[in-house]
Amino acid sequence: MKSIGIIGVGSYLPETVISNTEIGREAGVTDEWIVRKTGIRERRRAAPHEATSDLAAEAARRALDRSGLSAEQLSYVVVATSTPDHPQPATAAIVQDLIGARQAATFDINSVCSGFVHALKVVERLLHGESGDVPRYGLVIGADIYSRILDYSDRRTAILFGDGAGATVLGPVAPGLGLLETSLVTRGDAHHLIRVDAGGSRRPASQATLEEGGHYFRMDGRGVREFVQSTLPGEIGALLRRAGTPAAAVRHFVPHQANGVMLAELWPELGLHRAALHLTLEHYANTGAASVPITLDEMDRAGSASHGDLVLLTAFGGGMSVGTILLKWSMARPDQAEQAVQSDRAAQSGGRTGEQQLAPVGAPCPPLAS
């Protein structure tokens, strides 16, 4: 079976920066309180004229540029979002038009904050199913504008979220690289923990729903924390066992950027002691389905990941849903290009290359107040 992996990444963060002082004023909390509780110091906010599709399209352009492909070479454009431009049509269709991906089929995925990881797996399977000798490519975007659905007097939610978009281009990669193992899980019995109650078919928009704030994002923070702590370590352990991969072999861990304090508490339980923990929440907060691809892009632009490194992605969100993917990094920095070419040739010819030594990599904790 052909290997499908990430061949381009990109992200877009709106220009406007919102400090803790500004967001905390209406929520009745201080900068110190927000940092101590979450590790977040600031977040970005979309401009009034920007919709989710605008953020998604700009991230897509940057990922395509990194991949060396044009939009017309795409077979699929998939947007993971829980803040679409409209109830219909799909935001992905608008993105297709904005970037000129005229040959691509499009659809949205809503698994809330885990949507990007779910979408990666869906598009990977679609590309596996393509026949013929012409390579096929897919664009997977996570994008959310939570600033439009927050109750800014609710300190439990208002302080946590920022706006942004991240994108990846998927395509054929050398054997042994790309997506290796995936776990997608939903606990529908816990769907009440994260919700927007009004605006759908159960509770259509009305004057009454507007007055009661039914269109705002609501979350049971304690319930979400308990769900993540009880579910995530087991899911990650089971995935690594299925893949036949020891935790010590994982070089990079890219989690959903939900809350820095929660991630700091969870980190020792995961057994990923030789992996680098990648965090972007200090400056971007929780960007929903965009948080994993934004952090992937930051990791790539920082030159942290080497060709062939094992990278573990995990996200959790409303539903309640959890998505975890183990992949072998298929992008090379310019200074690694020749080494990557030689490694790929050796793999394709059945040859063996020297085993990479896994030197300990620092796993920084989230930035918390002292």
CB-facing half-sphere around the CA of 330: CA atoms within 13 A: 24
* Residues whose CB is less than 8 angstroms from the CB of residue 196 and which lie 6 or more positions away in sequence, other chains included: 149, 214, 215, 216, 217, 218
Would the pLDDT of 337 be above 80?
Answer: no
Would the pLDDT of 359 be above 80?
Answer: no
Q: What does the alpha-carbon distance between residue 270 and residue 274 come to, in Å, rounded to a whole number?
A: 11
Query: What are the tens digits of pLDDT across the range 104-162?
Result: 999 999 999 999 999 999 999 999 877 676 789 999 999 999 999 999 999 999 999 99
Q: What does the alpha-carbon distance between residue 142 and residue 105 come to, in Å, rounded to a whole number?
A: 17
Residue 89's pLDDT band, with cuts at 50, 70 and 90, is: very high
Would the pLDDT of 368 be above 70?
Answer: no
Question: Annotated catalytic sites, by residue?
Answer: 113, 256, 286
Would the pLDDT of 316 be above 80?
Answer: yes
Would the pLDDT of 365 be above 90?
Answer: no
Q: What does the alpha-carbon distance between residue 278 and residue 82 come to, in Å, rounded to a whole number?
A: 24
Would the pLDDT of 361 be above 60?
Answer: no
* pLDDT over 90 percentage in the chain: 86
Would the pLDDT of 72 be above 90?
Answer: yes
Domains defined along the chain, listed by start: 3-174 (3.40.47.10), 180-348 (3.40.47.10)
Strands in 200-305 per DSSP E: 218-219, 252-255, 276-277
* pLDDT over 70 percentage in the chain: 88
Q: What does the alpha-carbon distance between residue 255 and residue 26 come to, in Å, rounded to a whole number?
A: 29
Residue 370's pLDDT band, with cuts at 50, 70 and 90, is: very low
Window from 187-201, 205-219, 326-340 with minimum mean pLDDT: 326-340
Identify which has the larger pLDDT, 332 or 91.
91
188 DSSP assignment = G
Would the pLDDT of 364 be above 90?
Answer: no
Taking the model in full, what pTM does it have? Answer: 0.89
pLDDT given for residue 299 in this prediction: 96
Would the pLDDT of 19 be above 90?
Answer: yes
Enter the tokens of residue 318.
């409303």
Enter the tokens of residue 166.
């991240």
Torsions phi, psi for 204 (to 5 deg): -60, 155
61 DSSP assignment = H
